[in-house]
Chain A
Amino acid sequence: MLRQIEGSRAVAEAVALSRPEVICAYPISPQTHIVEGLGELVKTGALSPCEFVNVESEFAAMSVAIGASAAGARAYTATASQGLLFMAEAVYNASGLGLPIVMTVANRAIGAPINIWNDHSDSMSQRDCGWIQLFAAHNQEALDLHIQAFKLAEELSMPVMVCMDGFILTHAYERVDMPTQEQVDAFLPPYVPRQVLDPAEPVSIGAMVGPEAFMEVRYLAHARQTLALERIPQIAAEFAERFGRHTGGLVRGYHLDDAETVVVALGSVIGTLRDTVEALRQDGLKLGVLGIQSFRPFPLAAVRDALQGARRVVVLEKSFSVGLGGVVSTDVRLALSGLPLHGYTVVAGLGGRAITQASLAQMLREAVADRLPPLSFLDLDQRMVERQLAREAAHRRSGPVAENLLRDVGTMASRVR
């Protein structure tokens, strides 16, 4: 059924249609509306039987999900930003134990300075945690990916993180097609655990493993992610067949046939990029877009296939490895190794800075002219940076950076008055 609803509500209802049995919730912006929606659905009995546990931290949220999943329940939680970092130890543990928990990450920046707005620093910080990481480009995809995620997680017995841009998607009211319970039930079978805490057949889960077998356990996790590279497109195809729309999968390209310059990106910015590229193509610029839906496992072959006809690649990313540059770029470069391509990394939208079509268009014109530096920052205020650098050079006790910059742009002053 077509509905005009908030992204968070769409996800909450999609999760509910997936019949989770234990949901653990700890509030953090911009994830709150998702768990609020689910709490209501459980409280009214619309989602039943299901236990909704209000936990005391994200660390507990993931830990409760671990216990529930190991006891044979379909378990779900959602978080963002600091919350994901606070639960990091349990995030690694869930994948190490091979528990098919599904978690939404409403992507948000990480402090300090504290910032509630969108970028991809949070989920990227858990890049190597052993979870499958899927990125939604729009709200319909966010909705659909959750249903696909439960199927994928449970088939492979490994956890799946569905990443959706905080506020940009979670708080946006968009039209979505909400499937029926019958459709979801036909697509997603009940959870049959590979391992379960059952007095009838006692097992020890989480035993200590030393050098004798630790590497094998890790390798098996990698082997399962490699298998996921095959299953993700298959599940997306099966989903398309049943629900009549193509969402998920490994990668999705636009105008790749004739594109000389391809922009690679994850998440909601793909929409802005497509619009920008359409406009620039009117001017004869041969541009294309490659959206990555599956960041872990990283589809090396699919990315290489999609990009090998291009002359240059711009990786536009909302995350930043301080001291190196792009996070996604590193993986894209690996996919392209040996190909004669110019590669550019453009870091954009950190901490929620708007990524405008005007800025993208200007950046892409520079890229096409090969005038971009290897690493650049979209709409970076160079004057602000230089003023702070000068301050630090002049005074030992130059003070807190964030406060200085806010004073420079007038935010602090206006608040004090």
Chain B
Amino acid sequence: MTQPLKFYQTGTFTVGNRLLAPELRSVQASAERSNALNSGHRACQGCGEALGARYVVDAAMRATRGQLIAANATGCLEVFSTPYPETSWQLPWIHSLFGNAAAVGTGIAAALKVQARKAGRAAPEVRVIAQGGDGGTTDIGFGCLSGMFERNDDVLYVCYDNEAYMNTGVQRSSATPPAARTATTMAVGEAPGAAFGQGKNLPLIAMAHEIPYVATATVADLRDLEAKVERAMALRGARYLHVLVPCPLGWGAASHDTIRLARLARETGLFPEFEAEHGQVTAVTRIRRRLPVEDYLRPQKRFAHLFGPDGDPDTLARIQARADRNIARFGLLEAPGS
């Protein structure tokens, strides 16, 4: 068969691995997976970040045959995975500070480069990932991240974006979407929630550095996420992966809706999934069945003020316009090849 199989998750929990030959199954479906973020950690029920981190690190572990070191920013992922005296990490892992994961990654990569040269190898066998939440990436860690990008250091940086500072109690970050209620953008006053016209689009900023690889993904599409990690690890230099990870606590959503919300973020056009190499978009994941943003917003209490007795059609229209702009900008509806 020359046509590759394409899997769609249609609201069921079917992943479809049973239909595939064992060698084509996902990393997560394999009993041999590294379980790099082992069970027993303290993440909330339904935590998108715990899921995303396990998918990413397991895929990176397979891609590097276990020759992997991780640097971690302060945040939920760090706190829930390493409560003293336990650790969930099954790979060499270091947490230094909130804002320096990318630079710590650079340091590890530099050390590995010297060690490879001493051993007479052209490039290190051991690879490096650095990871953090959106606060540690788009705000406090932004300087170090941009530095790592522009030097093209051999690090894959993964941002698990849950769109606010969840570890400290759901405060606004520069990744918080407009209208979202957080503890520092309360749903009060004339313009409740986070302001429009603010915030950073880090994948596009990463692309502006013209680094070898930038991709966005969500925890809703496991195979896509794993493929992007695999692609990233096949390349050298600075790479950036931005993963949308819904947060039941911070978003005010049911813990069983994590995957559904991540999928809705893509299907509404609010979170465009794409890949880019050296500053050029090389692939986009097209929307299969376009949905209004309301479908994504309504299950989340952080947007509840948009759906009160009077509703807020103006704000909804502004959010819909953002989704429409993404769809036009990335060609999320066009048929392949058009």
Contacts and interface: CB of A to CB of B under 8 A. Distances in A.
B95 A71 contact: no
Contact of A202 (B92, B103, B118): B92
B115 A206 contact: no
Interface in A191-232: 196-199, 201-210, 212-213
A202 B151 CA distance: 28
Contacts of A207: 82-85, 87, 95
Nearest to B109: A67
A63 B108 contact: no
A103 B166 CA distance: 35
A397 to B, nearest CB: 35
Contacts of B85: 207, 212-213
B92 A199 contact: yes
B92 to A, nearest CB: 4
A67 B105 contact: yes
B89 A204 contact: yes
B204 to A, nearest CB: 20
Interface stretch (A10-18, A53-61, A173-181): A53-61
Interface in A245-262: none
Contact of B106 (A49, A53, A57): A53
A90 B108 contact: no
Best-buried of A53, A55, A67 by chain B (most CB within 10 Å): A67
Interface in A22-60: 22, 24, 48-51, 53-57, 59-60
Contacts of A59: 99-100, 103, 143-144
Given A50-B114, A71-B112, A73-B115, A63 B96 contact: yes
Interface stretch (B66-74, B215-223, B235-243, B316-324): B66-74
A44 to B, nearest CB: 16
B93 interface: yes
Contact of A199 (B68, B72, B84, B146): B68
Interface in A60-84: 60, 63-73, 75
A51 B99 contact: no
Given A59-B143, A205-B93, A199 B104 contact: no
B92 A57 contact: no
A64 B94 CA distance: 13
B103 A67 contact: yes
Contacts of B99: 59, 89
A285 interface: no
B108 A197 contact: yes
B91 A199 contact: yes
Contact of B118 (A49, A69, A97): A49
A196 B92 CA distance: 8
Contact of B104 (A64, A204, A210): A64
Contacts of A75: 107, 111
Nearest to A213: B84
B126 interface: yes
A207 B144 CA distance: 21
A199 B105 CA distance: 15
A49 B96 contact: no
A21 interface: yes
Contacts of A53: 106-107, 110, 151, 153
Contacts of B105: 67
Contacts of B108: 67-68, 70-71, 197
Contact of B114 (A21, A63, A65): A21
B151 to A, nearest CB: 7
Contact of A204 (B66, B87, B110, B112): B87
B143 A60 contact: yes
Given A60-B143, A206-B94, A68 B111 contact: yes
Interface residues of B, number: 47
A198 B108 CA distance: 11
A208 B83 contact: yes
A49 to B, nearest CB: 4
A69 B92 CA distance: 14
B117 interface: yes
A67 B84 contact: no
B106 A66 contact: no
Contacts of A24: 107
A308 interface: no
A93 interface: yes
Best-buried of A63, A75, A202 by chain B (most CB within 10 Å): A63
Nearest to B69: A197
B110 A64 contact: yes
A48 B103 CA distance: 22
A69 B107 CA distance: 8
B16 interface: no
Given A50-B114, A63-B100, A197-B108, A208 B147 contact: no
A56 B146 contact: yes
Nearest to B116: A49
Best-buried of B95, B107, B126, B144 by chain A (most CB within 10 Å): B107
Nearest to A207: B82
A67 B96 contact: yes
A64 B147 CA distance: 11
Contact of A97 (B83, B92, B96): B96
Contact of A60 (B68, B95, B144): B144
Interface of B: 66-69, 71-72, 78-79, 82-85, 87, 89-97, 99-100, 103-115, 117-118, 126, 143-144, 146-147, 150-151, 153
Top 10 nearest A-B pairs (CB, nearest first) are A67-B107, A56-B147, A63-B103, A73-B111, A63-B100, A71-B111, A206-B95, A207-B82, A67-B104, A68-B107
Interface of A: 21-22, 24, 48-51, 53-57, 59-60, 63-73, 75, 89-90, 93, 97, 196-199, 201-210, 212-213
13 contacts: A21-B114, A66-B107, A67-B94, A67-B104, A67-B107, A71-B112, A196-B92, A202-B91, A202-B92, A203-B92, A206-B82, A206-B95, A210-B84
